Amino acid sequence: MSRPLSRRALLTGFLGAVTGLLATSSRAFAQMKPVASGAKPHLTVHKDPNCGCCGEWVNYMSAKGYRSTVLHVDLRPIKKQYHVTPNLESCHTTLVDGYVVEGHVPETDIVRLLKERPKDVVGLTVPGMPASAPGMDGKPFQPYTVLAFNKAGQTTVWARHTKPGA
Ligand SMILES: [Cu+2]
């Protein structure tokens, strides 16, 4: 009498575990699916209403499949809130998937940021407005550098762009 019961209990436990495992992996798959199908994370862009190059950067990201919410706000409190110190500042401040992107950062650098998700990094910045960064597009091409920054305002070089589109 006790043996079939315990066998059933074992079986139930086993099936429960398998179901749990399947549920977990299908959830993980569901979370991965938007990335696999090419959905891009949403951008929240804070800018001055009169900033033309900010709009050009939004257009550049839009051409790469990103949708943006553009907010015309006082940027001083935004920079402060998101740890963008004066030496790291550019024109617009963007929030994307838990990170801050300051200024004319190339899309490829943002993709890498969201893939690697470095723990100590608040975000990326291209300080100032380098002549040939995306949305500025000055020719002939002038090299520029993308920095990663943390809450303490420390920076590391994230990428050096030395030729157009790279
Ligand atoms: Cu700009």
The tens digit of pLDDT for each residue in 39-98 reads 899 999 999 999 999 999 999 999 999 999 999 999 999 999 999 999 999 999 999 999
**N- to C-terminal Cα separation, the chain:** 73
Residues 109-166 have pLDDT tens digits of: 999 999 999 999 999 999 999 999 999 999 999 999 999 999 999 999 999 999 987 6
pLDDT reported for residue 30: 46
Q: 39 CA to middle of ligand 1, Å?
A: 26
User: For the chain, how many residues are written?
Assistant: 166
Q: 119 CA to middle of ligand 1, Å?
A: 27
Q: 104 CA to middle of ligand 1, Å?
A: 6
pLDDT reported for residue 15: 45
pLDDT reported for residue 39: 87
Q: 84 CA to middle of ligand 1, Å?
A: 15
| Residues whose CB is less than 8 angstroms from the CB of residue 67 and which lie 6 or more positions away in sequence, other chains included | 40, 42, 43
Specify the higher pLDDT residue, 59 or 11.
59
Q: How far is CA 157 from the centre of its chain?
A: 17
Q: Is the pLDDT of residue 31 over 70?
A: no
